[in-house]
Amino acid sequence: MASLSAQVTRACQYFSEMSMVFSQTVRTGVLAALILLCLNGSASAQVANGQAGSNAKADLDTPSPELVVTPGFSGDDPSAVRDAFIGNNKGKSGNADSTRNHIKEWVGNVLPSNRAVAALLGDNPGRELAFVAPVSRGILYSSTTHVMKVDVSFSDENHPDDIILKKVVSGPDGQKLTFGAQAKSEGFIQTIDLIGIQAAGKRDETTVQGRFALSSSAFAQSDGNLAVVFICRVVPPYLTEVRSHRDATDEEPTDITTRTSTLHVAVDDIWLIDQNKGVVIAKGLRLTK
């Protein structure tokens, strides 16, 4: 703007000096034309600069600052979802038709809700669920390029196809304290309750990835308590469970019984949030292998 003002000033001075040569009408018309040329030149430069900046970040996603959640947001409790589902189907055959007939009863009515309810259409009745999975590693921010990268795996070697949301281990571990034959008698018995989700059509995709531009000021506002939020809906077969038992051995002297519950879902969106502050840093993250 300073350069434009200087150009206009010089043009005015020039026409003041030429006032004895040109008529008032001619002076006015030429001055207007020069001012228009200056404005067009400035606008073209701004557009060019804007396009260059846009092209430089064309491969990056842009966070949506309008998204917010409640500070301390914990989403839906996967245990409550699992237990409500099972509780509403006690005494029933448990086959696909029975499950389909009763799905409307428990979704949106029995389940606890601490977020907006979204009506779903077609053969997938119910409300959207928000499962929150805290993240301790797999996120890298570059203060030089102002780019945040997300690459977080939510499975483990024993459950490669599940996105693990919750794992509760009850009972003492006998590792290095006893022998396999003594484990039960000495009380080294554990139960593991594991709850996860499996994305429909993406059974082996359990890693969340994303890459997006984020200003240093926005990054500085985060307190480091990051979490991934899976926005999803239950779909057939809804819930499957596997129970397994492993006897104690001398190498692993703990008697372990594991219950693995898997909710089958369609993932509609994946967010990265600052859980404590309730700030949505980005949405539109994706699942990969």
Q: Is the pLDDT of residue 42 over 50?
A: no
Last residue of a domain, one of 39, 55, 71: 55
pLDDT band for position 189 (50/70/90)?
very high
Question: 33 and 64 in one domain?
Answer: no
Contacts of 198 (CB under 8 A, 6+ apart): 161, 162, 163, 262, 263, 264, 265
Question: 133 and 27 in one domain?
Answer: no
pLDDT of residue 113: 45
Question: 29 and 80 in one domain?
Answer: no
pTM of this structure: 0.67
The Cα–Cα gap between 77 and 95 comes to 25
Question: 204 and 104 in one domain?
Answer: yes
pLDDT of residue 25: 40
Question: 172 and 158 in one domain?
Answer: yes
Q: Is the pLDDT of residue 62 over 80?
A: no
Last residue of a domain, one of 10, 27, 55: 55
Which two tokens mark 261? 């519950």
Question: 198 and 64 in one domain?
Answer: yes
Q: What secondary structure does DSSP assign to 124-145, as a single string?
A: --S--EEEEEE-SSSEEEETTT
122: alpha, beta or left, given left = phi > 0 and alpha = psi -120 to 50? left
pLDDT band for position 26 (50/70/90)?
very low
The Cα–Cα gap between 147 and 152 comes to 16
Q: Is the pLDDT of residue 286 over 50?
A: yes
Instruction: Please indicate whether residue 264 or residue 69 has the higher confidence score (pLDDT).
Output: 264
Q: Among 74-78, 168-172, 173-177, whose mean pLDDT is lowest?
A: 173-177
Last residue of a domain, one of 55, 70, 99: 55
Can you tell me which residue has the tokens 């077969």?
237
Contacts of 241 (CB under 8 A, 6+ apart): 259, 260, 261, 262
Question: 32 and 69 in one domain?
Answer: no
* Structural domains counted in the chain: 2
Question: 133 and 43 in one domain?
Answer: no
Question: 93 and 46 in one domain?
Answer: no
Question: 139 and 23 in one domain?
Answer: no
pLDDT of residue 88: 54
Instruction: Please indicate whether residue 267 or residue 39 has the higher confidence score (pLDDT).
Output: 267
Question: 231 and 176 in one domain?
Answer: yes
The sign of the torsion formed by the CA atoms of 181, 182, 187, 193 equals negative
Q: What is the mean pLDDT of residues 227-252?
A: 91
Question: 203 and 71 in one domain?
Answer: yes
Q: Is the pLDDT of residue 4 over 80?
A: no
Q: Is the pLDDT of residue 143 over 80?
A: yes
The Cα–Cα gap between 27 and 82 comes to 82
pLDDT band for position 106 (50/70/90)?
very low
pLDDT of residue 31: 39
Q: Residue 42: give the domain boundaries.
A: 2-55
Query: Shortest CA distance to 276 belongs to which of 80, 132, 81?
Result: 132
Burial (CB count within 10 angstroms: exposed 0-12, middle 13-18, buried 19+), residue 56? exposed
The Cα–Cα gap between 223 and 259 comes to 34
pLDDT of residue 145: 95
Question: What are the two backbone dihedrals, phi and then psi, of residue 60, each rounded to the nearest 5 degrees?
Answer: -110, 145
Pairing of strands 207-213, 279-282: unpaired
Q: Among 33-37, 146-150, 156-160, 188-192, whose mean pLDDT is lowest?
A: 33-37
Neighbours of 173 (CB within 10 A): 13
SS3 at position 28: helix
Which two tokens mark 284? 């539109």
Q: Is the pLDDT of residue 164 over 60?
A: yes
Q: What percent of the chain has pLDDT over 90?
A: 37
Which two tokens mark 74? 């914990």
